[in-house]
Chain A
Amino acid sequence: MRVILSLLLRAAVVLAGTALATFTLLWHAPGDPALAIALARFRSVVPDAVIEQVRVEAGFDAGFWPAFLSWLGPILLGDFGQSSVTGRDVWPELVTAMSYTFPLALSGLAIGVALSIPLALLATRHPGGWLDRFAVALASIGVAIPQFWLGLLLILLFAVQLGWLPAMGARTPTHLILPALTLGLTVSASLTRILRSGILEARGRPFLPAFRRRGVSEAHLTRNHIAPHAAIPVVTVFGLELAFLLEGVVMVEVIFARPGLGIFLVGAIEARDFPKVQAVVILAALLFVTVNLLIDLLYQVIDPRIGDRDA
């Protein structure tokens, strides 16, 4: 119970820090946000009076802390405010964007897991054998290839040359295939490497020979002793993998012109739409903190020694 409370407290601190950091960054970013908003709104030369009006409207004139608090307050109540450019509520637009992004992220993750587990199992059957070296090489190449290039190659092959799959937009479920594949291939590359080394390390645990001499069968040993040890690094990396996934989603959505959080965020940054940018960052931070919280709780089940000291 104490462990859970301290984990929750830590999560709250991380979220508050993120909110402050984003706001500070945007506040001190070069250029006048009021001018940017006015330009985005009227698309022409704007007189100083209009810029000042925008500044007051957006609450930028009150100084850093009042502006920060007047922004943070409603967010705590679940109100992300209105777009400073269009004046429309941010939340419904955010929900629409997420409804495109989450299926993409989840299917990318699913493809990554579905590819990496069999590949890692095959590779570790004969460590150092040709299959193992092939898998390692494949995973290294996969980690090294930038997603924008991989995405373009897939578009060239499946959309341009073969004409099997659509390359742009998100109208039908088939539009999901290429972006999910781009994401999934990169995810599977890093997961394969981690799984492979996790399995090899788990197989080298010093207690295993004693279990064999005790008469424990290989199948039982694999299921009940090797698998849990191999799972620990995978669980650890999963939180990092999520960061990777979010970053990849933004990239992949832009390549495939898919409406979603990526396009939403890029558009908001270009328009200097503070409330939208902050909403995305806060959401991402919330997602991160939640996943890491779940991972920490999972550790309590698998191996309570991890994080025991500071919990």
Chain B
Amino acid sequence: MTIIATGLSAARSGRIILHTTDVEIRRGERIGLVGASGSGKSTLGHALIDSLRAQGASVAHVPQSPDEALDPLRSMAFHWREAEQALGLALDPSRKQKLFAALRIEDGDLRKRPWGWSRGMQQRFVIAMALIGTPDLLVMDEPTSALDPVVAAGMMDLLDRYLSDRRTALLLITHDLGLAAARVLRLMVMAEGRIVEDAPTPDLLRVPRTEAARSLCAHRNWLALPC
């Protein structure tokens, strides 16, 4: 099944921050959405999610920081139960165990509130929550920016395996071309509210055609980071 969203756009206080855009994602496809800060990546992500949800498609979202996904006054168990109920699913302990095992957070104490967990574990918990409904598309907005590179790489590996097994599509929003290049087969480059380049990862890295893509490639850091 191919996911198609057309006519995505967004404006804030009279200024267009996302020009009309169409996005097509094939089943199980991994796409990286890269661009400088303020180029409209997150806006496109949000518009895509809202549009697909309106179509009735199953999409899940992982925000940049766990602070944007978890209520500090509620326990982890509460969040989990709430996410299951929001999807209309019956409570299923085995689903939780499977996801927790896949993301290596079985040891987390669910009675604790988010700040009782480390940030890395919080972030993985948020990802596990996003995967509860086995969505067709997972949109991750800078998922590793709050983590150190080693933890980030480990998390992306775990996620990679889980997504391949279920053929879930992934839209990885990041300003880190190095991270995206290692994880996705297709790259979309954004600049000033438009997708300016959309090409398979190796092609784009070899011959970046637009100014935005060239400047991203020039600043990539290949060797230093494990992810």
A-to-B contact residues, CB < 8 Å: 205-207, 209-211, 213-217, 220, 224-225, 228-229, 302-305
Contact = CB atoms under 8 A, between A and B. Distances in A.
A121 to B, nearest CB: 20
Contacts of A216: 82-83, 86
Contacts of A215: 53, 86-87
Given A213-B53, A305-B115, A207 B68 contact: yes
A304 B68 CA distance: 20
B86 A207 contact: no
Most buried by B among A210, A211, A229: A210
Given A209-B68, A220-B82, A224-B82, A214 B129 contact: yes
Contacts of B82: 211, 214, 216, 220, 224
Contacts of B83: 214, 216
A217 B82 CA distance: 10
Contacts of A210: 61, 63, 68-69
27 contacts: A206-B67, A207-B68, A207-B69, A207-B70, A207-B71, A209-B63, A210-B63, A211-B71, A213-B50, A213-B61, A214-B60, A214-B82, A214-B86, A215-B86, A216-B86, A217-B86, A220-B82, A220-B86, A224-B74, A224-B78, A225-B71, A228-B73, A229-B73, A302-B73, A303-B73, A304-B113, A305-B72
B49 interface: yes
Interface of B: 49-50, 53, 60-61, 63, 67-74, 78, 82-83, 86-87, 113, 115, 129-130
A209 B115 CA distance: 19
Nearest to B115: A305
A149 to B, nearest CB: 41
A42 B28 CA distance: 99
A217 B130 CA distance: 16
Nearest to A302: B73
Nearest to B83: A214
Contacts of A224: 74, 78, 82
Contacts of B70: 207
A210 B67 CA distance: 10
Nearest to B62: A210
B49 A213 contact: yes
Given A214-B83, A224-B82, A225-B74, A206 B129 contact: no
Contacts of B50: 213
Contacts of A303: 72-73
A297 B113 CA distance: 18
Contacts of A220: 82, 86
B195 to A, nearest CB: 22
A36 B127 CA distance: 76
Most buried by A among B50, B73, B129: B73
Contacts of A205: 71
A167 B49 CA distance: 64
A205 B71 CA distance: 9
Contacts of B61: 210, 213-214
B34 to A, nearest CB: 22
A303 B114 CA distance: 12
Across the A-B interface, the 8 shortest Cβ-Cβ residue pairs: A215-B86, A210-B69, A216-B86, A213-B61, A228-B73, A225-B71, A206-B68, A210-B63
B136 to A, nearest CB: 15
Nearest to B73: A228
A305 B67 CA distance: 15
A229 B74 CA distance: 10
A210 B82 CA distance: 13
B201 to A, nearest CB: 27
B110 to A, nearest CB: 16
Nearest to A209: B68
Given A206-B68, A210-B63, A305-B115, 13 more contacts: A205-B71, A207-B67, A209-B68, A210-B68, A213-B61, A214-B60, A215-B53, A215-B86, A216-B82, A216-B83, A224-B78, A224-B82, A225-B73
A229 B71 CA distance: 9
A220 B71 CA distance: 13
Nearest to B58: A215
Contacts of A225: 71, 73-74
Nearest to B70: A207
Most buried by A among B60, B78, B82: B82
Contacts of B72: 303, 305
